[in-house]
């Protein structure tokens, strides 16, 4: 029998929801069951579903976010009550349910999604469904005519809580109607070599129309009848069948079976993987019981073959007692075409027989959850301060694109859970004492509690945190004496100013205090090395420039050295020289990806930025080496220059030219923004950044891909000359003839190329995508992700504005309309072309530079009035701005 998986899943969906049972037997124990009617009123009492007897309750206590809706009235009549409500998530990227489970117990987890035109838009949404930190499936309700589908897996949680997350991918708000967890009766069944089991089909072979689930099935598996009347004959019994073998299918399921119509023909069943790769691995569980009373001269014996390979050569079902045949290892079908055959042996007088089977595909869940002690600690801190951050849902550290705001994590070994190494709660309106839960973050290296309203004393437990290197307590109302143990801790940097009642009578205070406050917005940029081409900024703001550009006679591909006088040759410094140049690490400039950045001087005159690698960061060492190797061979006036380095045992440092005015993002949001953008930022950023990025792609041999293009990686020197920085994530481009390099995904959420994220295939167009985001950021002066916007993701928001046709709603209002609208239109179209979901359709950086030059030329040529040009871009631009370009990150 040929099975159509699409039709099957629709059938299962329909059967789950509006099949009526012939009878409801006495209710079974629902101990451990979780049955959530998602979106039902928070004050609604639990109720029993009339079809199943299952007790459903509101989901309000299991999720922090989302809004409630109801399917339309005409849809209600097709579904039972648990499906009438739904919860949808218009805010945030990842929204999660947190469910308490028994660690190590296998669960059947089922989620149901029925759109029901709840919003009146008649637009089916699509979104991603995650189990913990791992992607389970992309839900695309538009594929199904009913506008609904379900997902079901058998999964063993490794902790005491399970998180089911819905992720906005830019194609409509995620929705969910019901969420159900069922502990399996026998934990030794449904074993896999690795991964979890995703439901593909579960059939019993009968002409009955009854869908069987709870209470007939104590684990609430859903059994769908299947019968091919052209090929099979039904066998049934009214006698009891012993179904107790661990799998324990319902009595009703095992009381029927199918045999071939022709006594000598094989029994066969076929299916094809239509929506999954042909290499999909699967497990099949075949349930047999002899349900005919055989005469002394009758024998039923057959071979069981899967995809032509014998699974069991001479098998006879047990009389009125279940046996389940399955493989210990996952199976695979030839080109996705799968077959089960039962072949009668020469000894047999009766045809083959089968009662039921289950098929599951293997779903790998490779990402480990964050170390549970760290999860408990950060949630304790969250509860202590009543922190309500929409990103603080799901796993704190993984996947990296959903990393909680204010955290950094380390995961040097894929076989070990990630750990939290950095906590920044600066300017978070914290009140009360320093939370005791902080001490349970045993791997924390840096703690920033600055600019809050914390009171009480500085706790001594901070001194006992062995990994802690930096504590910033500035700008609070702390009082009492600083513990001597904290002051005497070697290698610790304590920033305490701005607490007038904090007493420090120890002579060590002078060495443990920083003279100026650490800036709240950490500048991972100041430290960064060689920078790419974040060419963005130039865009919107250069429209406003009236100044003439200074002629640039330099070749964009030149490898000329920096204008800084200190840039003589790359030097190797000793660690003692690093200590001297930083005055014992006195002044912190910011925090780099894997180390602190300090201000220093060389020869007591030339200023430098010193990035010191944290000793315990193995992942940081890898990036450190990458930056050194790249910067020693790449020199360009539009890239931050490497002055020298220190490689002395465990002491590793990079010394860069000093960029006195921080990063571009900082100035875009700062108080000097309106002043700086006109005389300096626009033109300088445009002149330098695109050329630098284009140089990396085309001027380096082998070419380089930056992988972390963003406004915080554009640094400004004392003359507001912009340069690209931070090459810790950079990779060499493939050799000639190759189109991409396969690598683990890295980058910054919001700027990450969605194609790269999905495929792990990296090429130079990934930088182009990131630059497109930077370009929009500059034009709009809007954050990349803003939950207060109707469309949080900047590309999606700009696309919506473009459909309305009003450029003034896109451009930063601080420009007061002083720009050429035609140039702006052209620049926005360029940015959107950079964001094409298909990398092959994005422009190259050379094309981007050319297009920006033309935009700037139009802007500079106007004489006080807008020319309202309608010129067409020379680059292929997708004008279908209705297409969502939200990346798979947030």
Q: What positions carry a catalytic annotation?
A: 708
Instruction: Tell me the three-class secondary structure of 444-485, residue by residue.
Output: CCEEECCCCEECCCCCHHHHHCCCCCEEECCCCCCEEECCHH
- Residue 565: half-sphere exposure toward Cβ, Cα within 13 Å: 6
- Residue pair 491/469 in contact (Cβ under 8 Å)? The answer is yes
**Residue 346, CA distances (Å) to 258, 351, 858 in order:** 20, 11, 88
Quote the CA–CA distance of 232 and 293 in Å, as a whole number.
Answer: 20
**Interatomic CA distance for residues 777 and 790, integer angstroms:** 17
Residue 345 neighbours by CB under 8 Å, 6+ apart: 301, 302, 303, 314
Instruction: Confirm if 634 and 648 have CB atoms less than 8 A apart.
Output: no
Are 281 and 330 within 8 A, CB to CB?
yes
Count of CA atoms in the C-beta half-sphere (13 A) of 849: 19
Quote the longest CA-to-CA distance of the chain. 106
The answer to whether 103 touches 147, Cβ cutoff 8 Å, is: no
**Cα–Cα distance measured from residue 281 to residue 874, given in angstroms and rounded to the nearest whole number:** 47
Q: What is the dihedral of CA 861, 863, 864, 868, to 10 degrees?
A: -60
Backbone angles phi, psi at 846, to 5 degrees: -60, -40
Closest CA to 812 of 574, 584, 540: 540
SS3 content of the chain, % helix, strand, coil (to 5): 25, 25, 50
Tell me if 184 sits within 8 A of 360, measured CB to CB: no
Distance of CA 463 to the CA centre of its chain: 35
**Class of residue 14 by CB neighbours under 10 A (exposed 0-12, middle 13-18, buried 19+):** middle
My answer on whether omega of the bond before 399 falls inside 30° of 0, hence cis, is: yes
Pairing of strands 85-88, 606-613: unpaired
Which residues are CB-contacts of 576 (< 8 A; sequence separation ≥ 6)? Answer: none
Q: Are 172 and 164 in contact (CB under 8 A)?
A: no
How is residue 682 written in tokens? Answer: 């626009």
Q: How many CB atoms lie within 10 A of CB 653?
A: 24
- Is 622 among the annotated ligand-binding positions? no
Q: Residue 404 carries which DSSP code? A: P
Helices (H), 482-636: 484-487, 509-512, 538-542, 575-581, 618-633
* Ramachandran angles phi, psi of 729, nearest 5°: -100, 0
Structure tokens at 247: 């799998």
Spatial separation of the C-alpha atoms in residues 545 and 542, rounded to whole Å? 5
Contacts of 426 (CB under 8 A, 6+ apart): 448, 449, 450, 451, 452, 472, 520
d(CA 159, CA 597): 37
Indicate the helix (H) or strand (E) that contains 690. Answer: helix 682-698
Backbone phi, then psi, for 743, in 5-degree steps?
Answer: -155, 160
3-state secondary structure 286-323: EEECECCCCCCCCCECEEEEECCEEEEEEECCCECECE
- What tokens appear for 753 in the block? 């190329």
Q: Is the peptide bond before 750 cis (omega within 30 degrees of 0)?
A: no
Q: Which residues are annotated as a binding site for ATP?
A: 611
Instruction: Pick out the residues of the known binding site.
Output: 611
């Amino acid at each position: 029998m040929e099975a159509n998986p699409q039709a099957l899943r629709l059938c299962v969906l329909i059967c789950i929801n509006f099949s009526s049972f012939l009878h409801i037997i006495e209710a079974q124990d629902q101990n451990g069951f979780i049955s959530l009617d998602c979106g039902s009123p928070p004050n609604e009492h639990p109720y029993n579903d009339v079809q199943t007897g299952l007790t459903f309750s509101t989901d309000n206590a299991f999720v922090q976010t989302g809004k409630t809706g109801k399917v339309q009235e005409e849809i209600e009549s097709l579904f039972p009550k648990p499906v009438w409500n739904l919860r949808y998530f218009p805010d945030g990227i990842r929204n999660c349910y947190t469910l308490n489970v028994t660690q190590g117990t296998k669960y059947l987890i089922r989620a149901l999604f029925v759109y029901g035109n709840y919003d009146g838009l008649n637009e089916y949404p699509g979104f991603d469904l995650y189990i913990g930190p791992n992607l389970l499936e992309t839900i695309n309700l538009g594929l199904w005519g009913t506008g609904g589908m379900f997902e079901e897996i058998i999964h063993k949680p490794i902790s005491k809580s399970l998180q089911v997350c819905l992720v906005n991918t830019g194609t409509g708000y995620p929705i969910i109607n019901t969420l159900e967890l069922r502990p399996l009766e026998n934990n030794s069944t449904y074993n896999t070599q690795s991964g979890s089991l995703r439901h593909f089909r579960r059939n019993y072979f009968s002409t009955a129309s009854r869908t069987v689930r709870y209470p007939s099935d104590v684990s609430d598996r859903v059994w769908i009848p299947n019968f091919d009347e052209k090929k099979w004959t039904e066998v049934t019994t009214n006698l009891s069948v012993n179904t107790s073998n661990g799998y324990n299918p319902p009595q009703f399921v095992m009381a029927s079976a199918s045999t071939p119509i022709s006594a000598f023909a094989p029994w066969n069943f076929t299916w094809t993987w239509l929506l999954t790769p042909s290499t999909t691995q699967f497990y099949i569980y075949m349930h047999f019981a002899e349900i005919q009373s055989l005469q002394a001269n009758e024998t039923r014996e057959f071979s069981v073959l899967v995809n032509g390979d014998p699974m069991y050569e001479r098998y006879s079902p047990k009389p009125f007692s279940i046996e389940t045949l399955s493989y210990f290892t996952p199976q695979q079908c030839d080109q996705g075409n799968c077959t089960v055959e039962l072949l009668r042996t020469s000894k047999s007088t009766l045809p083959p027989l089968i009662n039921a089977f289950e098929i599951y595909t293997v779903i790998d869940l490779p990402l480990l959850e964050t170390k549970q002690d760290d999860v408990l600690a950060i949630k304790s801190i969250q509860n202590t301060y009543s922190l309500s951050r929409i990103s603080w849902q799901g796993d704190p550290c993984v996947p990296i694109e959903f990393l909680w705001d204010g955290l950094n994590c380390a995961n040097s070994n894929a076989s070990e859970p990630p750990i939290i190494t950095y906590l920044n709660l600066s300017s978070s309106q914290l009140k009360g004492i320093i939370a005791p839960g902080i001490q349970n973050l045993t791997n924390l290296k840096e703690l920033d509690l600055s600019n809050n309203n914390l009171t009480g004393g500085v706790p001594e437990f901070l001194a006992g945190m062995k990994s802690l290197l930096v504590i910033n307590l500035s700008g609070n109302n702390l009082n009492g004496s600083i513990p001597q143990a904290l002051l005497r801790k070697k290698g610790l940097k304590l920033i305490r100013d701005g607490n007038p009642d904090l007493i420090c009578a120890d002579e060590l205070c002078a060495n443990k205090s920083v003279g100026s406050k650490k800036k709240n917005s950490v500048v991972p940029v100041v430290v960064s090395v060689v920078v790419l081409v974040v060419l963005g900024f130039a865009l919107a703001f250069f429209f406003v420039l009236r100044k003439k550009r200074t002629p640039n006679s330099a070749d964009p591909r030149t490898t000329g050295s920096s204008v800084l006088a200190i840039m003589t040759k790359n030097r190797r410094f000793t660690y003692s020289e690093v200590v001297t140049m930083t005055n014992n690490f006195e002044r912190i400039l910011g925090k780099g990806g894997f180390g602190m950045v300090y201000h220093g001087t060389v020869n007591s005159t030339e200023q430098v930025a010193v990035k010191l690698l944290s000793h315990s960061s193995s992942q940081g060492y890898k990036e450190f080496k990458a930056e050194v190797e790249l910067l020693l061979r790449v020199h360009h006036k539009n890239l931050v220059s490497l002055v020298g380095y220190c490689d002395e045992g465990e002491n590793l440092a990079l010394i860069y030219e000093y960029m006195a005015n921080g990063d571009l993002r900082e100035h875009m949001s700062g108080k000097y923004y309106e002043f700086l953008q006109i005389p300096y930022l626009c033109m300088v950023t445009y002149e330098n950044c695109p050329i630098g990025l284009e140089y990396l792609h085309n001027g380096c041999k082998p070419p380089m891909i930056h992988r972390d293009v963003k406004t915080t990686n554009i640094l400004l020197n004392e003359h507001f000359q912009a340069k690209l920085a931070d090459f810790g994530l950079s990779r060499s481009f493939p050799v000639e003839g190759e189109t991409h390099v396969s690598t683990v995904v890295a980058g910054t959420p919001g700027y990450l190329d969605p194609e790269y994220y999905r495929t792990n295939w990296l090429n130079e167009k990934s930088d182009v995508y990131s630059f497109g985001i930077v370009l929009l950021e500059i034009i709009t002066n809007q954050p990349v992700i803003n939950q207060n916007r109707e469309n949080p993701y900047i590309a999606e928001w700009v696309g919506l504005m473009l459909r309305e046709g009003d450029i003034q709603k896109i451009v930063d209002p601080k420009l007061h309309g002083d720009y050429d609208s035609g140039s702006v239109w052209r620049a926005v179209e360029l940015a959107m072309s950079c964001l094409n979901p298909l990398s092959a359709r994005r422009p190259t950086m050379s094309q981007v530079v050319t297009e920006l030059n033309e935009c700037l030329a139009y802007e500079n040529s106007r004489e006080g009035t807008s020319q309202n040009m309608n010129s067409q871009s020379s680059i292929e631009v997708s004008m279908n701005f209705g297409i969502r370009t939200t990346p798979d990150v947030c």
